[in-house]
Structure 1
Amino acid sequence: MRLVLASASPARLSVLRAAGADPAVEVSDVDEDALLAAHPDAAPAAVVTLLAAAKAAAVADRLTGDCAVVGCDSMLLVGGELVGKPHDPETARRRWKAMAGRTGELLTGHAVLRLADGAVAQEAEGHAGTGVRFAEPTDAELEAYLATGEPLAVAGAFTLDGLGGWFVEGIDGDPSNEIGISLPLLRRLLGAVGVSVVDLWAPRG
């Protein structure tokens, strides 16, 4: 079974490769802002799942043959606010000032589409949430972190598997979800469409 990751995230790709899979990568062209605007009252878990499903569907439309397409989207729920990528230093700075010393929940929506001869034959979706306890970086540490550019392009303005890991006190739940793709949830979703994860493992040298 060919596995296709509908995401540009190098962290998600790294998690899958470390877990034995070697997916092809196809980046979707979903207008996330438009989709969010169309569902202003959706619950946080529904928001990330809608985005994941849209990404998987957009990529599936381009593919032929038999494969399983995986779409994901992550956002951080903190202080009652659902936030994604900050994109600029000032937004990232504000978010860190608000979440330092607090606890948030990293939510990731997952969608799996199984294609047969290029048509969607089966689908499954769900979400996972992992708690994260943030440290309180000093002003100098925060400015240095912002200057690296890393927090600008990731959900919640932090990473667990990069420089941001220095400023995370702990997590509660699935660590792979904190990186953007929940292996336990993905295994269940793939199973729901008839794909066993062991069949995705690349041969070991």
Structure 2
Amino acid sequence: MTTFVLASASPARLAVLRAAGIDPVVRVSGVDEDAVTAGLGPDPAPELVVGELARAKATAVIEAVTREGIYDAVIVGCDSMLLIDGELQGKPGTVDAARTRWRTMAGGSGTLLTGHSIVHISNGVTVGERHAHTATVVHFATPTDAELEAYLASGEPLAVAGAFTLDALGGWFVERIEGDPSSVVGIGLPLVRSLLTELGFAVSDLWSVPREI
């Protein structure tokens, strides 16, 4: 039986998968994202950055997974960043950085890029890979000063790509999106299904719970 492995610490990605019938094995890659990005040379294309980070995360856990005795698996790595005015925005990390981000993007829009990488291992050996990304336009509301400070105080925007979420507190400040909502949360189900199909898997075969018809 093929094991679905999520190479991510993101609780949002895990929640999306579980709601969609997959209870993955979670293994965090520990990839040095700054080092991966630096290795891409000067001014890499935004799509290349999220794609290579996703690939690095998926491949980084192969050894750990096989060492645990999981020899047949699909390993999924993802990376999301917000593109605003030609610049990629990752996790702000601090309240001041998140506040500055929101003052820039409030009332405007950005493109949430999410790289997806799927590695198929069989008998402990990589036998297939697929890599792609999604691009979803996010239109932001303008929170009041009090709302923004309360959102910053929650800590949520500090540790998420682009300093916002769609599926939690940040959803109050998203006016609309153009594209796949699951990819904004962090893992695009339609794209993952397409990549799995290319690797010879029916996504329904990976569901961990039966679905009533």
Pairwise TM-score range, normalised by the shorter structure: over 0.9
Partner of residue 125, structure 1: 131
User: What SS does the aligned partner of 2:183 have?
Assistant: helix
Report Cα offsets for 1:95-144 as digits up to 9, x if no partner.
00000011101100000000011111100000001110000111111011
The separation in 1 between residues aligned to 2:19 and 2:209, in whole angstroms, is 13
Partner of residue 74, structure 2: 68
Structure 1 residue 42: Cα displacement: 1.5
Q: Does 1:23 align with 2:24?
A: yes
Partner of residue 5, structure 1: 6
Report Cα offsets for 1:128-179 as digits up to 9, x if no partner.
0111000011111101100000000000000000000000000111010110
Residue pair 2:22, 2:209 contacting (<8 A) in 1 also: no
Q: TM-score, normalised by structure 2?
A: 0.94
Identity of aligned residues (%): 61
Q: Which runs of 5+ in 1 are unaligned?
A: none
Q: Does 1:163 align with 2:169?
A: yes
Partner amino acid, structure 2, of 1:2: T
User: What SS does the aligned partner of 2:119 have?
Assistant: strand
Partner of residue 190, structure 2: 184
The partner residue of 1:54 within 53, 56, 59 is 56
Report Cα offsets for 1:52-84 as digits up to 9, x if no partner.
000000011222210000000000001221010
Residue pair 2:7, 2:58 contacting (<8 A) in 1 also: yes
Q: Does 1:203 align with 2:209?
A: yes
Partner of residue 77, structure 1: 83
The partner residue of 2:200 within 187, 194, 203 is 194
Partner amino acid, structure 2, of 1:28: S
User: What SS does the aligned partner of 2:149 have?
Assistant: helix
Number of corresponding residues: 205
> Which 4+ residue blocks in structure 1 deviate beyond 3 angstroms?
none
The partner residue of 1:137 within 131, 135, 143 is 143
Partner amino acid, structure 1, of 2:168: G
The separation in 2 between residues aligned to 1:86 and 1:58, in whole angstroms, is 24
The separation in 1 between residues aligned to 2:198 and 2:138, in whole angstroms, is 29
Structure 1 residue 191: Cα displacement: 1.2
Structure 1 residue 203: Cα displacement: 2.4
Partner amino acid, structure 1, of 2:113: L
Give the CA RMSD over aligned residues: 1.0
Q: TM-score, normalised by structure 1?
A: 0.98
The separation in 1 between residues aligned to 2:165 and 2:33, in whole angstroms, is 21
Residues 107-118 of structure 1 mapped to structure 2, 5 A cutoff:
107-118=113-124
The partner residue of 2:157 within 115, 130, 151 is 151
Residue pair 2:82, 2:162 contacting (<8 A) in 1 also: yes
Q: Which runs of 5+ in 2 are unaligned?
A: none
